[in-house]
């Protein structure tokens, strides 16, 4: 007996391509989904016998579809939507709004941002998120870790699957350093020594390894923000831990 039966949906969208002997579209009109615990036990069409269930929900007029995936977002941006700043260009927003904003956030702010971001995603049908996360790598180590802990705890409580891509860097190209200073941001606060970066990252990855509902992976904020020593180290760390590696490609002007 299934725990839950969702039935009579206008359409059930499946993940495994065409269904049935006629090579259908992957949509079952009037279909049903049986759930046991936290797993989908079976999916069927209107002509398939429905299993018994402890609870049945009639979804006539509704569509049942797999959870969507957000491959790249920034939970810390969520609170910055309230900013009244209207910068004239991207560097103005990046340094004058984003970096100044996240660097000032407290652990409570980080928790609130992650909670709101998670719930907004789930409301939109997004059940898996890759959150490219950071609060300015050169901030005090205790502050960075406290904000990371608050964010991860919020995700544990909110549900859904999360890959926390911990943004990092140990060097800042001159053009970016100049842009940061021009917008009132101390360039040294955006990066940290490679040893500290790797130590903080490994500690988080030990606590949230591959296979869990919440996973931590490395994310050089930009390829050019990782030194020749740090870059291969984070690549090898991602490979050895069997997690993704994230970054922002083609985000900087040619040097």
- Give residue 21's pLDDT: 42
- Work out the pLDDT band at 253, boundaries 50, 70, 90: low
Dist. CA 77–CA 114, nearest whole Å? 9
Q: Structural domain boundaries of the chain?
A: 2-64, 68-241
Q: Give yes or no on whether 2-64 and 68-241 have one common fold.
A: no
Q: What is the largest CA-CA distance in the chain?
A: 67
* pLDDT tens per residue across span 28-70: 888 899 999 988 899 998 889 988 999 999 999 998 888 899 9
191 pLDDT more than 70 = yes
The architecture in CATH of the region 2-64 reads: Roll (2.30)
Most confident of 62-76, 79-93, 187-201, 233-247: 233-247
18 confidence band (pLDDT: 50, 70, 90): very low
Please determine, looking at this structure, whether the domain spanning 68-241 carries the CATH number 3.40.50.300: no
d(CA 19, CA 129): 28
Closest CA relative to residue 63, chosen from 13, 16, 15: 13
- Angle at which helix 194-207 crosses helix 141-158, to 10 degrees, equals 20
Q: Where are the beta strands (DSSP E) in 116-253?
A: 126-133, 161-168, 214-220
91-100, 109-118, 215-224, 237-246: least confident range: 91-100
Do residues 77 and 109 make contact, with C-beta atoms less than 8 angstroms apart? no
pLDDT of residue 153: 97
């Amino acid at each position: 007996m299934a725990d839950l039966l969702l039935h009579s949906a206008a359409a059930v969208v499946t993940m495994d391509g065409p269904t049935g002997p006629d090579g259908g579209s992957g949509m079952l009109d009037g279909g049903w989904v049986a759930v046991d615990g936290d797993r989908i036990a079976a999916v069927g069409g209107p002509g398939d016998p429905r299993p018994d269930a402890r609870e049945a929900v009639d979804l006539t007029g509704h569509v049942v579809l797999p959870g969507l995936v957000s491959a790249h977002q920034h939970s810390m941006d969520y609170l910055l939507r309230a900013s009244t700043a209207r910068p004239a260009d991207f560097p103005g927003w990046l340094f004058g709004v984003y970096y100044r904003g996240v660097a000032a956030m407290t652990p409570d702010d980080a928790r609130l941002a992650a909670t709101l971001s998670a719930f907004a995603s789930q409301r939109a049908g997004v059940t898996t998120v890759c959150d490219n996360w950071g609060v300015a790598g050169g901030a005090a180590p205790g502050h960075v870790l406290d904000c990371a802990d608050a964010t991860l705890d919020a995700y544990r409580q909110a549900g859904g699957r999360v890959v926390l891509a911990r943004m990092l860097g140990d060097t800042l190209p001159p053009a970016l350093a100049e842009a940061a200073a021009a917008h009132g941001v101390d360039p040294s606060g955006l990066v940290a020594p490679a040893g500290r970066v790797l130590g903080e990252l490994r500690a988080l990855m030990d606590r949230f390894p591959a296979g869990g509902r919440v996973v931590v992976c490395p994310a050089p904020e930009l390829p050019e923000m990782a030194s020749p020593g740090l870059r291969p180290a984070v690549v090898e760390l991602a490979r050895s831990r069997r997690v993704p590696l994230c970054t922002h490609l083609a985000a900087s002007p040619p040097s």
